[in-house]
Chains A and B, each alone.
Chain A
């Protein structure tokens, strides 16, 4: 350290500089002296090298930890989303089953000759349309079936008449079960859709495209009010 600062003084002596400049150098020399000295000494190995590298290693470790944590969080969120999509699929299958069941029971009743011809035709048409409808018209067709059922089974007398006929008791209870389970299944389906949509709107899911190519889930909206005479627990 002393030798080097002496050397620099020697340099200054060998190349004489303007007076002001020399004066300036002499004044500055003690201040930057220790810093480059330490840096050069670090290059030669020993204790000072760890002092210099530690912040870098530490930073690297922290970055690695953060990356792993982010990775775990993303993986966990992807798992959540995956589970929600599975839940929607199951709920959709259940809703589909209930809708088909309702349409089939209606069609069966309509063709059994239990009802008067006008009611039979109305129900048959609506049930047929609901079963055959394309995906994008399904909500409308199913709503129309609900309306038709409400029109025919609006009064308790009609339900009683069906029950009196041999086998009518079972048909009536099957229809009652079907019209009450459709709203239930639809509510569960839409609840699953809402949960998935809430998660998919989350920043993390959008930025990292965690949803992949899965289509944005859509709620199933329809009029599923059951006929009063078939609802076991009348709405108060």
Chain B
């Protein structure tokens, strides 16, 4: 099958959607399909052979943070050329409502179009205003995928229609087989995510840390992710700062090893999450998970059966749950086992098969993807000679 995948966000900036697309493309190529990914990227970025650049993305404030998006006449022309050259059987658009490549492709293409909705934002003013513009584009999508039951609910409420739920995939084996690292073991708490992005929740964890250290002084916090380290520990008393270790940006291998090593993985995110792939990765590595009780997280953690939940933004609740877990190896082992069993449904073998089933369903009895040549007026009045 010839599959075209559209990534709305810049390929050079790491992010959940980009990783999902990369893993999906590699999984499908592994199964013998022809895959081409259209993504915004800088000209000098080295790209994998299956990625086609749609030009540089422009940073614009969107949806509460600065997003790097692609729009304009030039991008639209590149989309059309990609569609024309690709002769795809199906195209898979990610995040079709973001004002970027996804929406452009929706406008320019016809034929079997699959779309995955990653975010689950509450209805924004911008969305209401853009609804009449979005609707004709979204009508072209033959199959919609939501990454979680929560994302599907938002989709149904805001845009109407329905979607099938297929979670994001994780290479479970990769995390399961990683070697633990000795210096990251022994009373350690792990955190992975942007340090300077408050929604990732590091400030909440920092507020909880004094109480945790008071109860268990040997505890160490390992933080992996970009951002200003000085500023992150500014709220801590001087003496406690040495208990926080910053690892900076880590490679995928080190991320897996970190998750294999820590005693508890904490996800204190305060919002803006629609899935929580990092929780799945932590569970794949067998790390006991302690996460804030966001809807999306509760769903991934099987409503608390595969990991513990604490009240969102409540540093005290986080501290007491962490202290309890750190002091209870049996409970940690139990969580680890349940997590490992639970994540099998997120493995690429299952998720990939589901996505392929969607592709096959929409391509059944449909022509392949082409650029959308608008029907001429003559043709519409039955005057065209063909």
Contact = CB atoms under 8 A, between A and B. Distances in A.
Given A83-B110, A181-B361, A187 B163 contact: yes
B139 A188 contact: no
Interface string A65-101: 0000000000100111011100100110110011000
Nearest to B113: A87
Given A83-B110, A180-B357, A191-B144, A199 B302 contact: no
B362 interface: yes
Given A90-B142, A191-B144, A177 B357 contact: yes
Given A80-B136, A90-B365, A94-B365, A184 B142 contact: no
Contacts of A94: 361-362, 364-366
B241 interface: no
A190 B163 CA distance: 10
7 cross-chain pairs, A with B, having the tightest CB-CB distances, nearest first = A93-B365, A94-B364, A191-B161, A90-B366, A233-B345, A188-B143, A191-B162
9 contacts: A78-B380, A90-B112, A97-B364, A184-B143, A188-B142, A191-B144, A195-B138, A195-B161, A233-B354
B160 A194 contact: yes
B375 interface: yes
A181 to B, nearest CB: 6
Interface residues of B, number: 32
Contacts, number: 81
Nearest to B380: A75
A236 B380 CA distance: 50
Interface residues of A, number: 32
A75 B159 CA distance: 24
Given A94-B364, A188-B143, A79 B164 contact: no
A93 B357 contact: no
B377 interface: yes
Given A187-B162, A194-B161, A233-B350, A80 B364 contact: no
A219 to B, nearest CB: 10
A189 B311 CA distance: 40
Interface in B149-173: 160-164
Given A79-B375, A90-B366, A233-B350, A195 B139 contact: yes
B142 A87 contact: yes
Interface string B372-385: 00110100100000
Contacts of B360: 181
Contacts of B338: none
B358 A97 contact: no
Given A94-B362, A191-B144, 19 more contacts: A75-B380, A87-B139, A87-B140, A90-B142, A90-B364, A94-B365, A94-B366, A98-B361, A181-B360, A181-B361, A184-B164, A185-B361, A187-B163, A188-B144, A188-B164, A195-B138, A195-B139, A232-B353, A233-B345
A199 B139 contact: yes
Interface string A167-189: 00000000001001101110110
A51 interface: no
Contacts of B353: 232
A177 B112 CA distance: 21
A214 interface: no
B361 A188 contact: yes
